[in-house]
Structure 1
Amino acid sequence: MVMEGEKLWTPRQEFADRSNIARYQRWLKAERGIDSADYHALWRWSVKDTAGFWASIWDYFEVQSDTPYRSVLQRPADGGMMGTQWFPGSRVNYAEHLLRQEAEGGERPVFHHLSETRALATMSWRELGRQVRILATRLRAMGLQPGDRVVSYMPNVPETAIAMMATAAIGCIWSSAAPEFGVKTVIERFSQIEPKLLFAADGYRFGGKDFRREEEVRRIAGSLPSLQKIVWLPYLDPQGAPPAMPDLVSWNALMDHPEVPREGFQFTRVEHDHPLWVVFSSGTTGLPKAIVHSHVGVLLEHYKLLSFHLNLGPQSVMFFYSTTGWMMWNLVIASLLTGSAAVLYDGNPAYPSPDFLWKLAADTRATSFGASPTFVQMMEKAGLKPGEQYDLSALEGIVVAGAPSTPETFAWFYKAVKQDLWVTSQSGGTEICSGFVGATPTLPVHAGEIQTRMLGMDVHAWTDDGKELVDEVGELIVTQPFPSMPIHFWNDTGGKRYRESYFEVFPGVWRHGDFIKINHRGGCYIYGRSDSTLNRFGVRIGTAEIYRAVEQVEEVADSLIVCVELPGGNFFMPLYLRLKPGATLDDALRKKINARLRDDCSPRHVPDRIYGVEAIPYTLTGKKMEVPVRKLLMGWPLEKAASRDAMMNPESIDWFVKFAQESTDYDWRGTAAAAKA
């Protein structure tokens, strides 16, 4: 049995010395006179001298700007984090930097791509640049201007990456939803930002089954009055005729235009606060938050993250299983900043066999492999040993993300894959499109432990009254601004929702909503969400999305849902219902509710169990008490989980107290012990 914190791996000296971060440290010493004895000294400097650190990132990666920046950062008048401007005066383009390696990359693969409808193939740097320039030129010809919104309802295929890069290249604002999202979920997101153009695919294949999306696209388009054009990708049926929809053009027709020479193409370099994309939160307290990031902020953060914390470079091949509705897809595409190739896969990760992704990793010579703790548990239960079955000699690092990792998760890689392996865990969020805590190739790996706080991220564990904790669990907070903070939320007048989301609990300090423990050596442990956002199998789900679907079922009067992280990377997501008089919670109603959630939202929104209750607990201000119920299920005593005095209907909590004590449908004990440590 592996113990938490047990040392599992120490980097070879040669591996550490040739790492990107070691090279950066040597550059800092030569160019800036900053001599950091080890990573921890480097981190302390990066958060103490915020301006000096981020200026060094700008210079080290030779960011291209039309004009020089006036200052590295400009804080608001109140001196807080919210509203900080980064590199004001600069004019950059994110897509231009993604394609900087095109000339040098030439015919070298930039994408290895595979799906359940397409065989494994590659796309070269030269071909990617050619297609991005053609598409960007056609978008300009359609009249799209910088600041216009372009959205996508497409799978994880090269065309989606090309569409994103072409959109950013001309200064338009990108947003993406995965094709498995239900119509309502997509409309709730895209209607907020009023897009002019929609990229849409005819469907997708998952687990050998086709899911056509013509009707869904028709309904989405009909609910977006701002939409002027649809670009149609015949993906499931390449020879199929486009549907009869107004203002629709096929992808193939759009791309059937002369090549645009690299020397003659102009990227639209935009101001420091110009939006790059809109990514959406999970919608816990209403409509999903439309989170806006800037070109310059994401560019600086991604250079740092991918180079220093994932150790990617021109010889790397990055693979992380993701859909286009998750920020990890953005990060996979961002790997191009380092000259790395990326692996794109659309389909079921365990189809036609549980070891399928390992075969893909071997076939593409992946150097970095992304996995979730749930995926690892599935591998272990299947008795798989990928290291014996496949040639994984190119593999250097593992990125475990999407949920808290256990010591057993780490140990499995060393037993079943290979012994000389940099196994890392990362944690961040859609809000920052990056990580707060993660890895560095110069530190050892300890079982279940995230190696360190990332450079430039002044992360701490705090008590509820703002005292710092070491070797104890507290709230994850960040005390210094960083470039990939949202520049704002879309349509958030006065920044009210932004402030409430991250700066209300500790004024002027970012509170992320995760439980974290930072030990005496700087290692980090994430213990799940401290707020009510559901985190299931690495995908954050909003409770409001589920309520909007469930409470339209005729028999349902009210509902409450929570998600509890369990030991071994598992989750328990129960749904509690108050039914209307005369209704009965039988199998037929359960099936009806699950079908509604699957169709309106996605399969991930379907709960593990459905229970009937007499009443749903509410606060005095009318908010459903999701966090207190979740804490009860994690083993917290009532007096620490909730205050009856703050409840609209105090007696309603008694059922949940009894349920948490007596239910055998889940085992929370490992998580409860961690949460209350």
Structure 2
Amino acid sequence: MSSDEGSVAPAGHGYGATLWEPDAETVRNARISHYMRWLADRGVQAGNPGAPAGPGSAAPAAVYQRLWEWSVANPGEFWTSIWDYFDVLGDRGDGPALTGTTMPDVHWFPDATLNYARNALRTAWTDPDRPAIIAVSERRGTAELSYAELAAEVARVARGLRALGVTKGDRVVALLPNIPEAVIGLLAAASIGAIWSSCSPDFGTRSVVDRFAQIEPAVLLAVDGYTYNGKDYPRTGVVAEIAAQLPTLKAVVMVGLLGTADVNPPELPAGVQRLGWAGLGDGAQGTKGEPEFEEVPFEHPLWVVYSSGTTGLPKPIVHGHGGIVLEHLKALALHMDLKPGDRFTWYTTTGWMMWNFLAGGLLAGTTIAVYDGSATFPATDRLWQLAADERLSYLGAGAPYLMACQKADLTPKDDYDLSQLRGIGSTGSPLPPEAFTWVYDKVKETVQLGSLSGGTDVCTGFVGSCPLLPVRSGVISGRSLGADVQAFDEHGHAVIGQVGELVLTTPMPSMPVRFWNDTGGKKYRDSYFAEFPGVWRHGDWIEILPDGGCIIYGRSDATLNRGGVRMGTSEFYRVVESFPEVADSLVVDTGRLGAEGRLVLFIQLAPGHKLDDDLTKRVKAALRQQLSPRHVPDEVVMVPGVPRTLSGKKLEIPVRKILLGTPVEQAADPSALANPEVLEAYAPRTTL
């Protein structure tokens, strides 16, 4: 965005107030401080030049800034240091860390071999009794697996997969909720070099088939049903429908959550074997208590995750073993300050990349809590109860959950013992300043709130928290190590203190190895490198502040451009959704190149409220005062709900297409939506 076009600045609207700063003890004990001392001992004065003992003589934020600059200026050296500091299990080889000069034609550690599962399970041989997984669910209650028990289960399931003919490079897919069987399945598949992919069981048949059929799986792990909001949802019929459309399947392994897998088994195509989870691995050959790990090249596919697929088939994004191991160790240990034995969760389903990120907690030696159920059942405070009951060190959730807690005026600090809670994570959408303030007023004054932004594309955050950086209202603390994030104007120039396109100018090892079935890499190149050759364009608006803080303004393809003033949608939602009468909202600018259109605001009302002239006037007045007169909507329309993807993101672009005349059934794939029934409400009587 060029300066002459203008932008809506957040200053003066609650942004920037310091809510938390690290004290000397926090800085001294942080894993990132230990890492910098380790670097200094090896002659690398990246974090604090002139202070061989590491951080201590300079302001922590300035120390971090120098470390970040070193990490992006020397990517090969930085990522090699991550391998060595965390003592990654594998053979790094004698070759360079990075080959190639221009993205995407670069390769990481071409001579290295390793295995994700071996690294995730290493605690089983150093501290076997440490809890690896705490499983909490609406239906099953609470259970626990030690690292030794987890390793034994992985060994058993891996033997079973091998007995079914699964070998290195085959695909193992799962229709499972966030339960231990999903983590075990991932690790078992990875241990033999097979490729994992998962969907949440609330996905419809078409959504699952659109994803899994592209990668031609050999084995499907599936659940007979799941429980959510206190209600059971049988899924054996859906499993049968999915299996019928996956011609490469050799077997379906059923996990009987509802107890109906044997009573009412799915009807499978001829030649597809059905067996139960408990019987998997019985009679197979192998060491009973210890998995056998297939060492694979650094970029060997670990899993396939997917784009939302709202306007076409979901893009199957392939990540490699090595890139994920290095990135998740860096993110979890250095940025989130998780240490071995900490208890960590992120509220997620297996269809969102945050589940893969949560599983990465095992790499850092933490105890991960997997929660299967609704975040708001039986009440909105369910996750705070979880944090107290399981003595969590770190609780992550989507930004909408924290905003819902704020709106419900919850006070978790008065209701629960959160003494063990050191960190709270937020992602999925920008977190407004008011939600930051609510956390410190109503949850815990000493907690570090980490708002982060990244994507499925890299299975991590580009920008986020760090124990050396302060937490400020509405501001993401800084750019992540190894992530050369810049804000580009339309000419491809980096800008500071202005809103621009979020780009990365240096490669990261967790960037996709490729898209599946993308011969020649054209779809991959078109997705990220078409606008700025050799530079990754992510598709978000970002402002990088002079002090290194970052503000995300929403998707750059959903920009509101009114009278030459561009603004991301996050600021708009912050104003509208501050009204207690508003449960959710969506805004669309129908303007096209050379012609300004109409600004339409759709509101989903909270129960017991109505959209009358008074509410409309108050909303418009607030937008006029807090944003600009240009951003007062031309229309305010009541809708039964805001359309969202299966991972919870608002569908601004498809709704814009509908308003401009695209038929509803062509604007978005209903099977890719969490609530496709609401789309019809957006069809206009006349084309705008």
TM over 0.5: yes
Residue 491 of structure 1: aligned partner: 517
Q: Is the CA contact 2:528–2:537 (under 8 Å) kept in the aligned structure 1? A: yes
Residue 453 of structure 2: aligned partner: 427
**Does 2:341 match 1:315?**
yes
Taking every aligned residue pair, what percent have the same amino acid on both sides? 42
Q: How far does the alpha carbon of each residue in 1:476-523 deviate from its partner, in whole angstroms, 9 at most, with x for none?
A: 000001100101100112111101100000011000000000000000
**3-state SS, counterpart of residue 277 of structure 1:** strand
1:57 pairs with 60, 69, 82, which one?
A: 82
**Does 2:441 match 1:415?**
yes
**3-state SS, counterpart of residue 338 of structure 1:** coil
Q: Find the aligned partners of 2:76 and 2:589 in 1 and give their Cα distance.
A: 49
Residue 293 of structure 1: aligned partner: 319
Q: What RMSD in Å do the two structures reach over aligned CA positions?
A: 3.1
**3-state SS, counterpart of residue 135 of structure 2:** strand
Instruction: After TM superposition, list the pairs within 5 Å mapping 1:194-593 onto structure 2.
Output: 194-237=216-259, 240-241=262-263, 242-245=265-268, 246-256=272-282, 261=287, 265-531=291-557, 566-567=573-574, 572-573=585-586
Structure 1 317/267 Cα, relative in aligned 2: closer, same or farther at 3 Å? same
Q: Find the aligned partners of 2:357 and 2:383 in 1 and give their Cα distance.
A: 19
Residue 29 of structure 1: aligned partner: 40
Q: Find the aligned partners of 1:340 and 1:132 in 2 and give their Cα distance.
A: 17
Structure 1 130/238 Cα, relative in aligned 2: closer, same or farther at 3 Å? farther
Q: Is the CA contact 2:217–2:246 (under 8 Å) kept in the aligned structure 1? A: yes
Q: Is the CA contact 2:155–2:290 (under 8 Å) kept in the aligned structure 1? A: no
Residue 616 of structure 1: aligned partner: 661
Residue 13 of structure 1: aligned partner: 24
Q: Find the aligned partners of 1:654 and 1:211 in 2 and give their Cα distance.
A: 39
Residue 45 of structure 1: aligned partner: 70
**3-state SS, counterpart of residue 128 of structure 1:** helix
**3-state SS, counterpart of residue 419 of structure 1:** coil
Q: Is the CA contact 1:131–1:255 (under 8 Å) kept in the aligned structure 2? A: no
Q: Find the aligned partners of 1:612 and 1:474 in 2 and give their Cα distance.
A: 24
One-letter code aligned to 2:36: Q
One-letter code aligned to 2:110: P
Q: Is the CA contact 1:435–1:454 (under 8 Å) kept in the aligned structure 2? A: yes
Q: Find the aligned partners of 1:346 and 1:447 in 2 and give their Cα distance.
A: 31
**3-state SS, counterpart of residue 387 of structure 1:** helix
Structure 1 302/116 Cα, relative in aligned 2: closer, same or farther at 3 Å? same
Structure 1 479/328 Cα, relative in aligned 2: closer, same or farther at 3 Å? same
Residue 137 of structure 1: aligned partner: 159
Q: Is the CA contact 2:176–2:222 (under 8 Å) kept in the aligned structure 1? A: yes
Give the superposition deviation at 1:610: 8.5
Give the superposition deviation at 1:247: 1.0
Q: TM-score, normalised by structure 2?
A: 0.79
Structure 1 47/606 Cα, relative in aligned 2: closer, same or farther at 3 Å? closer
Q: Is the CA contact 2:657–2:667 (under 8 Å) kept in the aligned structure 1? A: no
Q: Is the CA contact 2:191–2:291 (under 8 Å) kept in the aligned structure 1? A: no
**3-state SS, counterpart of residue 302 of structure 2:** strand
Q: Is the CA contact 1:373–1:403 (under 8 Å) kept in the aligned structure 2? A: yes
One-letter code aligned to 2:460: S
Give the superposition deviation at 1:315: 2.6
Structure 1 469/610 Cα, relative in aligned 2: closer, same or farther at 3 Å? closer
Q: Find the aligned partners of 2:328 and 2:415 in 1 and give their Cα distance.
A: 34
Q: How far does the alpha carbon of each residue in 1:571-623 deviate from its partner, in whole angstroms, 9 at most, with x for none?
A: 5347999xxxxxxxxxxxxxxx999x99xx869699899999785279xxxx9
Q: Find the aligned partners of 2:443 and 2:186 in 1 and give their Cα distance.
A: 34
Q: Is the CA contact 1:409–1:568 (under 8 Å) kept in the aligned structure 2? A: no
Q: TM-score, normalised by structure 1?
A: 0.80
Q: Find the aligned partners of 1:203 and 1:396 in 2 and give their Cα distance.
A: 35
**3-state SS, counterpart of residue 572 of structure 1:** strand
Moved more, 137-146 or 606-615: 606-615
One-letter code aligned to 2:203: F
Residue 107 of structure 1: aligned partner: 129
Give the superposition deviation at 1:141: 1.9
Q: How far does the alpha carbon of each residue in 1:107-130 deviate from its partner, in whole angstroms, 9 at most, with x for none?
A: 221111111111112111111011
One-letter code aligned to 1:136: A
**Does 2:196 match 1:189?**
no
Q: Is the CA contact 2:483–2:508 (under 8 Å) kept in the aligned structure 1? A: yes
Q: Is the CA contact 1:406–1:448 (under 8 Å) kept in the aligned structure 2? A: yes
Runs of 4+ that moved beyond 6 A: 562-565, 574-577, 605-614
Give the superposition deviation at 1:137: 1.4
Q: Is the CA contact 2:211–2:314 (under 8 Å) kept in the aligned structure 1? A: yes
Count of residue pairs brought into register by the alignment:
578
Give the superposition deviation at 1:381: 2.6
One-letter code aligned to 1:234: G
Structure 1 267/532 Cα, relative in aligned 2: closer, same or farther at 3 Å? farther
Moved more, 238-247 or 303-312: 238-247
Structure 1 181/431 Cα, relative in aligned 2: closer, same or farther at 3 Å? same
Give the superposition deviation at 1:303: 1.0
One-letter code aligned to 2:29: R
User: What stretches of structure 1 of length at least 5 have no aligned partner?
Assistant: 534-561, 578-592, 626-651, 657-677
Instruction: After TM superposition, list the pairs within 5 Å mapping 1:161-172 onto structure 2.
Output: 161-172=183-194
Structure 1 360/17 Cα, relative in aligned 2: closer, same or farther at 3 Å? same
Q: Find the aligned partners of 1:419 and 1:451 in 2 and give their Cα distance.
A: 17
Q: Find the aligned partners of 1:336 and 1:264 in 2 and give their Cα distance.
A: 17
One-letter code aligned to 1:572: S
Q: How far does the alpha carbon of each residue in 1:53-93 deviate from its partner, in whole angstroms, 9 at most, with x for none?
A: 11111111112224614110111xxx311031110111110
Q: Is the CA contact 1:204–1:235 (under 8 Å) kept in the aligned structure 2? A: yes
Residue 53 of structure 2: aligned partner: none
Give the superposition deviation at 1:354: 1.4
One-letter code aligned to 1:616: G
Give the superposition deviation at 1:421: 1.1
User: What stretches of structure 2 of length at least 5 have no aligned partner?
Assistant: 1-11, 49-62, 560-568, 578-583, 591-638, 669-683
